[in-house]
Amino acid sequence: MNITQVQGDEYAPFYSAYISQVSNEFSLLEELEVSVHRLRNFVQEIPMDKYDYRYAEGKWTIKDILQHLIDSERVFAYRALRFARKDLTPLPGFEENDYANTADGSTRSIRDLLTEMAIVRESTLCLFRTFSDETLQLKGMASEREMSVRALGFIIIGHQNHHHKIFQERYL
């Protein structure tokens, strides 16, 4: 399953910015596995004094963004699970700023954040490995928009790639 197979009607227009961040070099499962290592290696090379840096007032730190990636992946994977199990109950959106303010990722160590990120990704991989091609095409409603299981997998990747790019452009 490759990103080129995902159609525009499988996700809300908002997510096109994330979908466009995914390369067609790897399959969904391969990219889920490779991308977390790519980000982890990149973050470990960032100077320690940058982890708590904010490029502007009110912006998140690198630690906050890592916590945000963890929380978002859990939400997206939960949506994928619900849709894959043919649960047609519409799911609400989530307010990322409320999550970030409550989670307070800045108080955590980089090691803990990267460890949790790897564990969450391994869980996501285990889940997505159970999905057949037919299951990946199932859809459900989240944030008043229809989404497919496979689009959610690629959104997880694209969302991470989006923030990786922001790290490079605004934090270093």
Cα 156 from Cα 74, distance rounded (Å): 9
Residue 153 near residue 128, CB atoms below 8 Å: yes
- Kindly report the pTM of this predicted structure: 0.96
Residue 148 near residue 134, CB atoms below 8 Å: no
Per-residue pLDDT, 104: 87
As a dihedral over the C-alpha atoms of residue 135, residue 131, residue 114, residue 104, rounded to 10 degrees, the angle is 40
Per-residue pLDDT, 54: 93
Q: Name the residue type at position 67.
A: Q
Residue 94 near residue 75, CB atoms below 8 Å: yes
Flag whether pLDDT at 51 surpasses 90: yes
DSSP labels, 104-129: -GGGS-HHHHHHHHHHHHHHHHHHHH
Q: How many CB atoms lie within 10 A of CB 76?
A: 23
**Which CATH entry fits the domain spanning 3-171: 3.90.1150.10, 1.20.120.450, 3.30.420.40, 3.40.50.2300?**
1.20.120.450
User: What average pLDDT score do residues 115-127 get?
Assistant: 98
pLDDT tens digit sequence for 58-115: 999 999 999 999 999 999 999 999 999 999 999 999 999 999 989 989 899 999 999 9
Cα 128 from Cα 151, distance rounded (Å): 12
DSSP 59: P
